[in-house]
Structures are given as C-alpha cells and as structure tokens.
Amino acid sequence: MNTAAITTASTVTPFTQNLKQPQPKQQTAKEAVAANVLALIEQLEQGHSDGLTAYLTAMGRFHNYSFGNILEIARQKPDATRVTGLYAWNQLGRKVRKGERGIRILAPVIGVRRKKDAEAEKDIRTQNQAVLVGFRSAYVFDVSQTEGKELPALSERVTGTVGEYRERLIDFIIAQDIQLEFKESIAPALGMSYGGRIAILPGQGEAEEFSTLVHELSHEMLHKAERHTATTKTVRETEAEAIAFVVGKTIGLTTGRASADYIHLYHGNAALLTESLEVIQKTSAVILSALEIKADTALSDAPRLAEAS
C-alpha cells in the first residue's frame, strides 16, 4: 500500500532514536498517544478515502464462487488469484490477452415459474417465481491472463525508518511468552494472531512489518480468552489497527490514511474507536513504554500483558 502523510491540528513530536541528544518541547508518551488517537478519529470522520472507494468498487466486481466452482478454478489454474468474466474485466479497464484459455465453471440458469391465474389472483406477489432451471458452462479469466489498467489497491500501510524499535518490540513480544514466527503460508494476510503465537508474512518493508507486529501484538494483549467473546470482529480490528497507528506515528513513521482505510474495511468508524478509547490509549502506552526501554534492559523490565488487560 502507498501512504501519504496526514495533516492534523496537533503536531506530534516522535520519540528520538538517540536519547542523549536534547529535544526541546518533546511530548510525553501520554500526550503523543492522545494526539495521535485524535488524528485517527479525524481521518475516520472524513469517511472513505478516494483510494478505498476505488478499491471497494473494483472488489465488488469479483464474485463469490461456490465451493464446486472454487475447486474447478483451482484444478484448472492453481495459481489463480482474482477471476471474473470477460465483461467484468472490460468494465475494470482490462482486456483478456489473445489466445488465453478461459477457466470453465458452472453458472446457474434461472427461469420463471408462472402460477395459474386462479392461484396468482390469491396473492399477486407470488404470480411469478424465480427458480433454478439448471446450470450452463461459463468461462472466467484470472488477472494474470489480462492486461490494461492497474487494479485499484489499498496504499502501503506505513513507511519510514524503524531502527532499533524493531528489536525492542520483538524483545517485548518474547518477554510476554508469545512465540514469533515468519511464515509465507499465511499470505495474503500480513500477520496472524493465534493466542500465544504470532505469524508474520516475510518480505514486508521494515515499517510495514513493524506496524503488522504491533497490530498482531494488540490482538494478543486484548482479544484472547474472555474478551474475544465479548467483542465483535469489527471492534477487535478497529482497536488493533488504531493501536498500530498510534504506536507507529508516535515513533515517527508515516502512516497516511492506511489505518483509517483498514478500519473502514471492517466497518469501523470514529464512534466505535471513541468507545474503545481507553483500552486503545492504555495498550498503546504499554507498548510505547517498552520501546523506550534501553535494549539491554528490555527483557527484564518490560511491562507484562496483565497491565494492559
């Protein structure tokens, strides 16, 4: 995803990498967290970004296929990622390349069952009923078989230089008895939280990986055991991404509207974030306090998960 820096009424001074150099008027962690939460609320109140709107419009043209058709697609083109019909590709500004072989699937044939006049008069709403008549062969094509206009994509989640904060964050994760692994098999997800174990997709940029680590760590800290059953997926994803935004922006990363777009994808909004304000601020502060600790004491002095729960 590509990001662009956001502009807010509050100017946030990031933590300095070199603590020996004096930084005038540097914000405390608490002040930085509060300012960055407000920045994210402002973004959410502005609604969908143009990039997210374009992305959602494009994704709406890709159908959800039946289990049988998914098997057919996998059998005929195992590396397929996004498939749709010829007309839909044209609507997206792409053309199927000459000579490409379509992927055969079964499409439903819908007919109309007409009721007898005597029956229809009893209830006019049921005069004509749509019924499944059968199936016919139809052909779809994968994006790799097409060329033309680039598909809209969400921007890069975050950019910037992480420096020693990456190691401090990993030290903190390990100190919480959370296993950390890097697995390509979780793609297209950037990260996964399993309860005591975090998996990260390798190959991400350093800032994007840092943000993903904070996001998944937030799930581990907040959304396991009893709190998982007491919250919805929308709430959980809003909280985790808000914490990733706050922590990343506080250490000086460029976040753009990526976090706001992510939250909107899960149907979150400013009101929902405000309801979770206390837990977001508290958890962000715990993680940031661990990042402030010098590397040689990170393991011994890192706050425990219980302080954030």
Average pLDDT by consecutive 10-residue portion of the chain (309 residues)? 32 42 59 82 79 63 73 86 88 93 90 65 61 88 92 69 94 95 89 93 93 94 75 84 88 81 77 82 90 50 40
Rounded distance between C-alpha atoms, residue 38 and residue 169, angstroms = 24
What integer pLDDT is reported at residue 299 of this predicted model?
37
What integer pLDDT is reported at residue 78 of this predicted model?
85
Buried b (16+ CB within 10 A) or exposed e, 3-37: beebeeeeebbbbeeeeeeeeeeebebeebbbbbb
What integer pLDDT is reported at residue 36 of this predicted model?
83
Per residue in 129-138, pLDDT (tens digit) is 677 888 899 9
Q: Which residue has the tokens 């996001």?
A: 215
User: How do the domains of the chain map onto residue ranges?
Assistant: 29-52+155-308, 56-148
* Three-state secondary-structure class, residue 303: coil
Q: pTM of the entire structure?
A: 0.61
What integer pLDDT is reported at residue 8 of this predicted model?
31
What integer pLDDT is reported at residue 80 of this predicted model?
84
Cβ burial, residue 248 (10 Å; 0-12/13-18/19+): buried
Per residue in 19-40, pLDDT (tens digit) is 444 445 566 767 778 888 888 8
Give the count of alpha carbons within 13 A of 161, CB side only. 6
DSSP letters along 200-248, please? E-TT--HHHHHHHHHHHHHHHHHSSTHHHHTS-HHHHHHHHHHHHHHHH
Cα dihedral 212, 215, 221, 225 sign: negative
Cβ burial, residue 42 (10 Å; 0-12/13-18/19+): middle
Q: Which residue has the tokens 């309801």?
A: 275
141 forms beta bridges with: 84
